[in-house]
Amino acid sequence: MMGPAHSLSGAAAWLGVGAAAAAAGHPMPWPVLVVGALICAGAALAPDLDHKSATISRAFGPLSRALCGVIDSLSHAVYQATRKTGDPRRAGGHRTLTHTWVWAVLIGAGASVLAVNGGRWAVLGLLFVHMVLAVEGLLWRMARVSSDVLVWLLGATSAWILAEILNKPGNGSDWLFTGDGQEYLWLGLPIVLGALVHDIGDALTVSGCPILWPIPIGRKRWYPIGPPRIMRFRAGSWVELKVLMPAFMLLGGAGGLGALGLL
């Protein structure tokens, strides 16, 4: 799928988690719901770090473009080192390592460790990166015609304000993990969810997605998981733009209302 659809699906997924938590009698504080949805929307772009033409490659200028090149090379090397006889030869690393459950768990766990041990500036850094990505994905029309600096300023301002709100007692810095020193440990959860939702979205397209790597399936270790061919679509097609994106908006709205106890 394309960047905007990925971001919408990520936000909708976290709002759905919020609705499920409320239904189970453990509602999220509203700042956790909002921040989690934005982080998940941004994180849903991150697996495309292996693609030099993806939305994320433009998000941070030369830095993100260079990082995409590095991740593409790393992903290709891992693919070549772990492929089985049934896996085709590839010239690049797109839709390999960063499109697996292993990557999703690793980046989520890394974010949680960084948030807990890195202090306020680490939290602000994580929020800034994902706020910028959320703007690029959710407000993509405006982001495309705006200066990168304006997008970065919006991301930095949002990160600062949201961190201040979360830090207030009862607003969710210690949501889910309440032990001493575990503030913001939950930040890794929307990052994992965003990456997995991205992978599921890509699995619906004609190419499929090797979500289950390194678990071998038949003669392949990079088996492209997906529904039957007749149910798949091409990225950017009318199915994505006219069916899935409106569906994500409706599901996200319903999830948000449910999470706030209004549905």
What is the structure's pLDDT at 52? 82
Q: What is the pLDDT of residues 120-139, one digit of tens each?
A: 999 999 999 999 999 999 98
Q: Which residues contact 66 (CB under 8 A, 6 or more apart)?
A: none
Cis peptide before 214 (omega within 30 of 0): yes
Q: Is 220 helix (H, G, I), strand (E, B) or coil?
A: strand
Closest CA to 28 of 15, 12, 43: 15
Closest CA to 60 of 168, 156, 169: 156
Distance CA 145, CA 128 (A): 20
Q: Is 74 helix (H, G, I), strand (E, B) or coil?
A: helix
Structure tokens at 2: 């394309």
Closest CA to 201 of 235, 173, 176, 169: 235
Place of tokens 């399936």: 217
> What is the phi/psi pair of residue 210, to 5°?
-80, 55
pTM over 0.85: yes
What is the structure's pLDDT at 40? 97
Low-confidence ranges of the chain (pLDDT < 50): none
What is the structure's pLDDT at 157? 96
What is the structure's pLDDT at 146? 78
> What is the phi/psi pair of residue 235, to 5°?
-60, 130
